[in-house]
Structure 1
């Protein structure tokens, strides 16, 4: 039975994953190498719980208990007793592979190692461990406390037992599961990120302004936000990284990253997190 959950990476995704597990009653160890990021993440979780309480989604009296179930650490060894460890670091393959090599030697035998990767093949990640049957993809959507979907991706060696345990976790979190085969981008990002890339091409080629591209997709296809606004929200570096995984994985020119997207990432215009992407932010 899974009781203790480790989360690696205290960014927006890792903090959100820690939030929903603690809210569901699990004991959580949140790891990050940066103390300032851990502090920021814990404050963000507390703030988001407050918002949920205002909307009646969580009992305000339960918030101290939820926060008390999250322990932060800068030592990966503190995840040794976890029943499942979920990696949620930057979408860089070499970094993820290095983390899984280390995790495999730290986390107790029989524990599940999961990745929140949005595009990198789970089979490739599992291959660097000595427990490939215990490795699985759990791709949460952003923002994690709000979005209902978790993509679950089975690697070539993922066991039925690991899959069933993961499916049970998704259900206990009150979320819905979509199961994907282990191909680059899985379901959501294989469809979503090329749409964002095509919107960048439309801007790059002068088809329309960023505002009109977003207005067209919002009002013409009933999307809650336009693709360029969404790209800024996700982070242009993340969008580019996923496009590069798709392009490298399928070798199909339709996945070629837009040159404008590449240049913007090179210039450090990454979207909301840097204050400048396809739009400017305060």
Structure 2
């Protein structure tokens, strides 16, 4: 390669050109050869701050006055927009710039590199695919694809070039439609639209809860709104077409609102607090939390913090009905009676109902029973609870960060006032209740489980080689503090399994098929912190 890197940039869109301009602006070892035809690019080129940049129309084989070859070392070619941009380039300057480059960098959109190579009858020997990932702050990642074996030496050469530019990049080993980041984003976005239709929740609540799951300030709907809803819908549709009917990426046509509607404004408005009769507002004195150890422990800590230590919380940690012994049962009874019981057992319906049979005799006369809805609608689980008690479902996923939101559901066989009474108790505990539909997972758990499951498919299908690399890619793409697999170690992989199997059994569809890679981890006892084995443990 010449002493000075020569980079050829033909006819990129303004966004991509601005991105490359910023990448190369402090790199004095590269010389940009720019081909432009749009007024926007002309205006960008006039900005002298980003020199040295040379504008040219004819590439020469002779060396220039500085001893540098006119033939480019790298040529960036834009495939990210619909249409054959290579043909456009041919009409302007012919094939000289592309054919003479040592490495061609294909900037990809939804379609994989193989699609474009087949369409344009290109040879893969010198072509490397790159899929840029943008957020509001600009470029956050480059997914680099060596899809069709451009040659290890050229690939390593380009990686070294990116390192010199200090560009954020990740290696993607299998070039699939949409790339790693967009596949996960499409899964979350599609699920958000499904929840919009079925969850019976204010759209702004769905937006807020997706933000809490992702650990950032803006929710998924805000991101769509910022990017342009119509563009987002076209991208989802193109991904569905490119994946040839894969049900995991089929967009929800019924739930997606029209871009002309003022509904987009409603999505980002602040959610209203529920209206609860003052007579229902009360703080329980003693709460029993019974079920799977890491869920019981997490909710005990959250209720204690939310109530500022004013409510006594007892966690009865059991893995299944078989782990209950008479001595432990007696010890719990002696601490009663309780005026609120939370059931958080990750088990089949019959075991959960047996646990409720044991809980009911320990309750006060006007007590409430909240059953988690991670894998079952509350309507099924609460059947053993007598009608004299208030029985509702709640989102049993441990709260994210400092969130005080609790998702409550009304079972079909409950009194109309039960939900209001439960909301009054939630407010008394210092929580922020919202009503959602009686379906597995609620809102937060469904979004979280879909994200983890989709990330796991990236591993299972060898798109990305390691769980740490998946976390890095998705942290950059979503602006997360932690990647999905590190979060799973804290929450528990069995929680993800419960939600996905519950959705598959109660709703169905390819979207909810549990990834086999996660099944193997569960069989090996790699649940996360609770078993001290997980993605990052030990």
Task: With the length of structure 2 as denominator, give the TM-score of the two structures.
Answer: 0.41
Aligned counterpart for 1:261 among listed residues 503, 509, 518: 518
5+ unaligned residues in a row in structure 2: which ranges? 1-281, 320-327
Aligned counterpart for 1:236 among listed residues 481, 486, 493: 493
Displacement of 1:129 in angstroms is: 2.6
State the match for 1:135 in structure 2: 391
Does the CA contact (< 8 Å) of 2:289 and 2:314 recur in 1?
Answer: yes
State the match for 1:169 in structure 2: 425
Structure with greater helix share of residues: 1
In 1, the alpha carbon distance for the partners of 2:505 and 2:314 equals 34
Displacement of 1:221 in angstroms is: 1.0
CA gap of 1:145–1:81, structure 2 versus 1, over 3 A, is farther
Judge which range, 112-121 or 142-151, deviates more: 142-151
Does the CA contact (< 8 Å) of 2:300 and 2:313 recur in 1?
Answer: yes
Counterpart check, 1:123 vs 2:408: no
Displacement of 1:179 in angstroms is: 1.5
Aligned length: 244
CA gap of 1:11–1:273, structure 2 versus 1, over 3 A, is closer
In 2, the alpha carbon distance for the partners of 1:75 and 1:220 equals 49
CA gap of 1:222–1:145, structure 2 versus 1, over 3 A, is closer
State the match for 2:363 in structure 1: 107
Counterpart check, 1:252 vs 2:534: no
CA gap of 1:228–1:16, structure 2 versus 1, over 3 A, is closer
Judge which range, 8-17 or 205-214, deviates more: 8-17
Aligned counterpart for 1:146 among listed residues 387, 402, 410: 402
Displacement of 1:199 in angstroms is: 0.7
Matches within 5 A, 1:86-97: 86-97=342-353
Displacement of 1:156 in angstroms is: 0.8
State the match for 1:75 in structure 2: 331
* C-alpha distance after superposition, 1:122-166 (max 9, x if no partner): 000112333287211233553588332211111112334322222
5+ unaligned residues in a row in structure 1: which ranges? 35-71
SS in 1 for 2:530: helix
CA gap of 1:84–1:145, structure 2 versus 1, over 3 A, is farther
Query: Higher relative contact order at CA 8 Å, sep ≥6: structure 1 or structure 2?
Result: 1
State the match for 1:31 in structure 2: 316
Displacement of 1:23 in angstroms is: 3.0
* C-alpha distance after superposition, 1:239-259 (max 9, x if no partner): 112211111111212211111
* C-alpha distance after superposition, 1:203-251 (max 9, x if no partner): 1111113222111211111122111222222222221122111111112
In 2, the alpha carbon distance for the partners of 1:73 and 1:28 equals 16
Aligned counterpart for 1:223 among listed residues 477, 480, 485: 480
SS in 2 for 1:272: coil
Does the CA contact (< 8 Å) of 1:8 and 1:14 recur in 2?
Answer: yes
In 2, the alpha carbon distance for the partners of 1:265 and 1:162 equals 36
Aligned counterpart for 1:210 among listed residues 455, 467, 474: 467
Counterpart check, 1:178 vs 2:463: no
SS in 2 for 1:114: strand
Judge which range, 132-141 or 114-123, deviates more: 132-141
* C-alpha distance after superposition, 1:61-120 (max 9, x if no partner): xxxxxxxxxxx9753434652222112333543332111122234424432111234232
In 2, the alpha carbon distance for the partners of 1:216 and 1:167 equals 39
Task: With the length of structure 1 as denominator, give the TM-score of the two structures.
Answer: 0.75
Counterpart check, 1:5 vs 2:262: no
